[in-house]
Structure 1
Amino acid sequence: MTAADAGRGRTTPARRWRAPIAPLIIALVALIGLTILVYPTAAAWFAQREQSRLLGEAGEVTDAHAERNAASIAQAREYNDALRAGARIEANERLPLGGGEIADDALDYRAVLDDDATGVMTRVRIPRIDVDLPTFHGTSDETLLRGLGHLEGTSLPVGGAGTHAVITGHRGLADARMFTDLDRVRVDDTLTLTTFGEVLAYRVVSTTVVDPDQTESLQAQEGRDLVTLVTCTPLGINSQRILVTAERIYPTPKADREAGLADPHASDAPWWAAILGGGALVAGVYVWRSGIVSVR
């Protein structure tokens, strides 16, 4: 037999693919682990995207209704005057308890600064911690999962001497940043509120940690225009509150006004999607190669 005959006599083993059980399980476990790892970042990305969308829509509505904006702000200032005059407005009540005279409709908390399109009362920007969030009426759990909440019974965020607006937000959520980094804000940092087209600039004057029942510092102070940001601390325990109090800057600096009226910045590139996609590709190749077997 010649070498050529011997070569013709040999056959190349056929290759087939069979589902490899063990490698398949390993790949699935790895993908599940990777998904769990990137979930907080992915969820925060989607939350920021939704919040930016709401701010963008609210800005479009504001730009198109200058007269309505002025009327809404005027009504909010009447509401604040009633609070300063001693009126106390309870949740779900339209009429004040105590002194103060004002039109009934101005005391309907939910109707004042109500943007029918999005429900956004004001926009809060804190450059120090890269926060740009919508604020809604009230502080219910549902509200605080959408963004920040204005504490009912405190001044509405339209500024003015003797006003003190209080805005609250969650900290340490797995699927959104919210006020997670509020503890990094320092005295002399600035923040802005954009309320129905009007930009108010504030400079931080104090940062404190208090017990939940210590609310004295949230009261309005004669002659001062204040806003306080509130969140829970320590992370995961939430037994105390961080209070960041800022005082109005007059007039609003041009740069702050421009930033407050600018379109919300888009979400960062979803790098987590690239990691997840790369992991899925590697897992797929691993399973495919593991399933190739030779058949004679």
Structure 2
Amino acid sequence: MRNDTPKRWRLSWVTLVIALLAFFGMLIASYPTVASWLSQYAQSKVVENYQNQVDNTYPDAVTQLRQAHEYNDALSVGALLEADTNKPTGSGTSSDETLDYDQILRADANGLMARLKIPAIDVDLPVLHGTSDETLLRNAGHLRGTSLPVGGENTHAVITAHRGLADARLFTDLDKVQVGDRFVLEVFGEVLTYEVRETKIVEPSQTESLRMEPGEDLVTLVTCTPLGINTHRILVTGVRVTPTPIEDVENAGAAPEVPHFPWWAVWLPAGTLLIGAYVWYSGFPPGFWAERRQRRNNA
């Protein structure tokens, strides 16, 4: 006599192993995307609050901008691109000992200095004082020993950030910036636009590109290459655009456009549901659904 009672649902260890491998594989593959998005989100909150920090800083913005120009006037600019390191070092010094680098253009206790926007590669980063490991973990850093990024003739500021971090985008796409692209610095209420005039890869010993040029107002963005090896440096040098484009002035202080919509928040749950559906479906014995349909037809 045929037993019409359906067999019970049962989870096999093979199904469990496959499901766990798929689930954890999905998490591992998603980690860089999720971590990078969360890092960008944290950075966006810092830059979004930047102008409010500047408005409430002491000394006030006008005073700190004046001090920054005085610092630059007294600065002997220089920079070193040391081999086998992941960041350059500054070699410039200020002849005016009353001007404390760490206290000029300081918007908060962390040393927030400026906001850097590179539209061509969707970068919108806070710029902090110095290039310590802690600073560069989540932000761009101003290279001490080079001009403060407030513009003016005979200045050359250097801003650096990491490239290729698993959990932060930062300058990962700096190699995609092209001559003619523009980037914008918002510094204590000032808006400075720079147009890229040169991009190149240099050896650490080639530091002449970071020197001040008479009459020029320059900013160079620096990061390491190749990824994970760091034997060379990418230099993206921009020259000041004057007058500042009106659209850049109007967009100053606006909420960051990055990060974009977190699609991972859609496909991670969707992937989890698919894996769950696979586990549920696989728990039924072969022929279960055909037998169930047959019983319904015979009812």
Give TM class, smaller chain: 0.7 to 0.9
Counterpart pick for 1:217 among 209, 214, 223? 209
Per-residue CA distance 1:234-263 (angstroms, 9 max, x = gap) = 223221001111111111110121223322
Is 1:36 the counterpart of 2:28? The answer is: yes
Match in the other structure for 2:108: 116
Give the superposition deviation at 1:193: 0.6
Is 1:54–1:118's contact at 8 Å kept on the other side of the alignment? no
TM-score (ref. length: structure 1): 0.85
Residue type of the alignment partner of 2:32 = P
Match in the other structure for 2:271: 279
Match in the other structure for 1:167: 159
Which one has a bigger Cα radius of gyration? 1
Match in the other structure for 1:136: 128
Report the structure, 1 or 2, having the larger helix content: 1
TM-score (ref. length: structure 2): 0.84
RMSD of Structure 2 on Structure 1 (CA): 2.6
Give the superposition deviation at 1:184: 1.5
Is 2:92–2:146's contact at 8 Å kept on the other side of the alignment? no
Counterpart pick for 1:152 among 144, 150, 154? 144
Is 2:57–2:107's contact at 8 Å kept on the other side of the alignment? no
Give the superposition deviation at 1:50: 0.5
Counterpart pick for 2:171 among 173, 176, 179? 179
Per-residue CA distance 1:185-220 (angstroms, 9 max, x = gap) = 122211111011110111111112111122122111
Match in the other structure for 1:201: 193
Is 1:80 the counterpart of 2:72? The answer is: yes
Residue type of the alignment partner of 1:147 = N
| Unaligned residue ranges in structure 1 (runs of 5+) | 1-8, 89-95
Is 1:20–1:287's contact at 8 Å kept on the other side of the alignment? no
| Unaligned residue ranges in structure 2 (runs of 5+) | 80-90, 289-299
Percent identical pairs in the alignment equals 52
- Distance in 1 of aligned mates of 2:229 and 2:30: 24
- Distance in 1 of aligned mates of 2:227 and 2:57: 41
Give the superposition deviation at 1:163: 0.8
Is 1:246 the counterpart of 2:246? The answer is: no
Give the superposition deviation at 1:118: 5.5
3-state DSSP class of the match of 1:275?
A: helix
Give the superposition deviation at 1:147: 1.1
- Distance in 2 of aligned mates of 1:275 and 1:99: 53
- Distance in 1 of aligned mates of 2:136 and 2:175: 18
Cα distance change of structure 1 residues 118 and 263 upon mapping to structure 2, 3 Å threshold? farther
Is 1:192–1:260's contact at 8 Å kept on the other side of the alignment? no
